[in-house]
Structures are given as structure tokens and as C-alpha cells.
A and B are shown apart, each in its own frame.
Chain A
């Protein structure tokens, strides 16, 4: 799971002219966030693969009738009864949520480091995500 061409480490922002002692903290944060992203995408791909295998087993044609609309209440039941749609929906949710998990991890990391401005930036991004959820479900 490495869609990046090889190459040695090169400084991006860590160790830059940020707050004193930011270099080591940000390097640790880089590692933590990197793992959050890799684990999140690993989990989403695993769920999508299970869903596709179940699709194949069930003879579902992707260009045929669409699946039932997403329903939170039906998700748990679908997972228990091993329905392909449940694994696919959950895989999509984990995929879409993974970048937001990374922002939450950043908010916590910057908060621990006392970097208030980056905490505000992280909170601002999460506010936009919450607005997406609110506007996506209500407007239109």
C-alpha cells in the first residue's frame, strides 16, 4: 500500500521556521497522521473488497438497478446478515471520513503542542466538513 514513488526523506515543513521546538513535534505528528491515513485507507479498501466479493457472489451487475438508498439503521443489520451493500456503504463512509480523522488527529496533536493557530486552522477545516454534512443533507 504505497502509491508514492520511492525516494529518500526530504524536509517538507517539519523543522521549518515555525514555533520553537516545532520541528520534533511536527515530525512526530507527521508520523501519527501518516499512520491514520494509511490505516484508514487500508480499512476502507478491505471493506470495499469484501463488498465487491459479495457482489460477485450475489451476481449483482453494477450497471443494473441501483442499490437501496443509504440508511444508517439498516447498516448494522446489513453487516450482521452479510449484505454486500452494507460493506460497500461502510467502505465508502470510512473512505470519505479518513481525511477528517486525519484533521482530528492534527487538532489533538497541535493542541498538545500548544500551537493555537494550527488548532484554529484544524477546527476551521472540521467546521467546513460539518457544514458539508449539514448542507448536503438539507439543501437542494
Chain B
């Protein structure tokens, strides 16, 4: 039973760090279960999807009650993320573990690079996030490419939705990534909505959380029905992630995450290397 407690504690750590750094726990849970507990990668992905549903749905519930998430936009895009996730869930059972490990290593490396760029731009005094929010939202209101009809009804009081077809393609890709690698896919959806579609960052983050639940459940159903989710492992991990994410959200305003972010980049880079080695072995 010590393994169960270790899983819960590790899950809590993943949820806490993920929450403090604005990432979902999935990106940490999968390597934790495969490299730390020796689980096959596909099984770890199934467990991670359950944890992702728990944390994103709880967060989305709060975001909706505060009217931060854009329900209409989120539901329209999740039609496509769910379709991508369904296909990804089926493809995942046809791919060897080594290919999944290689893809996961790429995702980890990509995330590390994104976080490193953010850290560097913050330390140099500029904030690309802030400028991108204002820039994107401003362009969305005034831009000549603002959509009309149904797509226009997906916007908010201060912004309009741009490049909707691009959003559809990006959403399908986000669903595929989520299903294959057991992550929420926020790392794809948030920049997609914010930078490409002109949705303010805060709304994009909240809406992404809303979409993650149905995206992850579309593929989790496939994993569940094919015996890809072990409840003895999924339960303690999901409970741990939930507790960690809840604690992280309460601590977020009191913790200086700069050092944490640097440490996290190192962990991501190391884990990417380990996953890459696993893919080649």
C-alpha cells in the first residue's frame, strides 16, 4: 500500500506544481508513472486522462460560475477537440509504446522551450503575454477579418472570434495530442485561442479548462472500455492531483514562481531526455 500513498503524494506534487505554473498535471503524471513506477506508457496515459478530467472539470465549474469561461465558444470548439480525441484514443492502441514515448519527449521539450522563452522575456522586462492579450483582443475588435453570423455569436462583449477555420484545425490537433499523450492540451488550446483567434488570455485559459473535460473523456471512454485504466492506480493518483491542484490555486498568489519555473524547466528537459532514451531503447 506504500506504492498507493507514493502515487497520491506524487500526484499531489504534480497537481501543485502544474497549478502554480499554469500547466495541467498531465504533463508530469505520465512521466512520473512510467519513469517512477514502471507503468507502461499507455496505462499511464489512461490514468492521466482521469486526473485531467477531475482537475479541469472542477476548475471549469468555478470559472463558469464566475462567468469567465466562454461556454458557446468552448462547446463549439470541443466538438472538434472531442473528434480529434476519439481518433487519438483509437490510434493510441495501435501505436507501440516507443512511439508514444518519443511523442511525449517532443511535447516535454516543446513545453520546456515555451517556459524558457517566457522566463527570459519576463526577466528582460517585457511581457509577451500581456502584449499578446491586448494586441490580439484589440485586433479582434477592430480587425477587418472578424467573422460574421454564427461565429460572431461566439465572441464576448469586448472581443470577436477570428480565424475560426484555423481554430477548428487546431482543436482537432489538440484533441489528438490529449488522447495520445494523456494531457489536457491546454498548451495547444490557450495559444490557439489567444494568439490566433483573438480571445483574451484569461477567457482562453478558462475556456480551455472547460473544453479539456469533454476532450479527455472522449478518449478516456476508449481507454476505459479497452481495460486501459487500472482503478487501483488511477484513484490514488487522481485524488492526489486534485488535492495538489486545489492547494496550488490557493497558494498561487502567495508564491514567487520564478525559481520554481527555472527548476521546472530543468525537470522537463531531464524528463524529455529520459523519455527520448526510453523511445530509443
Mask for A19-37, Cβ within 8 A of B = 1, else 0?
Answer: 1001000110111011111
Which stretch, B101-109, B120-128, B153-161, B265-273, touches the partner chain A? B153-161
Interface size on B, residues (CB 8 A): 86
Mask for B7-21, Cβ within 8 A of A = 1, else 0? 110000000000100
Q: Which residues of B contact A91 (CB under 8 A)?
A: 231, 235
Check B86 against A52 for contact (C-beta < 8 Å): no
Cβ of A139 within 8 Å of any chain B Cβ, yes or no, is yes
Q: Can you list 28 A-B pairs, Cβ within 8 angstroms, ordered by A? A: A3-B248, A3-B249, A4-B59, A4-B62, A7-B68, A9-B66, A11-B67, A12-B207, A16-B70, A16-B72, A16-B157, A37-B61, A37-B213, A40-B57, A41-B58, A51-B231, A61-B232, A62-B4, A62-B230, A66-B230, A92-B229, A98-B217, A106-B71, A106-B75, A125-B75, A132-B86, A135-B86, A136-B226
**From DSSP, what is the main secondary structure of chain B's interface residues?**
helix
CB-contacts of A116-131 with B (<8 A): 117-118, 121-122, 124-125, 128-129, 131
Q: Does the CB pair B214–A12 fall under 8 Å?
A: no
CB pair A6–B235 under 8 Å, yes or no, is no
Residues of chain B lying within 8 A (CB to CB) of residue A52:
4, 8, 235-236, 239
Are B64 and A117 within 8 A (Cβ)?
no
Q: Which of A5, A18, A27, A88 has the most CB of B within 10 A?
A: A5
Contact of B156 among A6, A16, A31, A36 (CB under 8 A): A16
A56–B230 alpha-carbon span in the complex (Å): 16
* Among candidates A11, A15, A96, A135, residue contacting B53 with C-beta atoms closer than 8 Å: A96
- Residues on B with C-beta less than 8 A from A48 are 235, 238-239
Contact partner, B217, options A18, A27, A99, Cβ 8 Å: A99
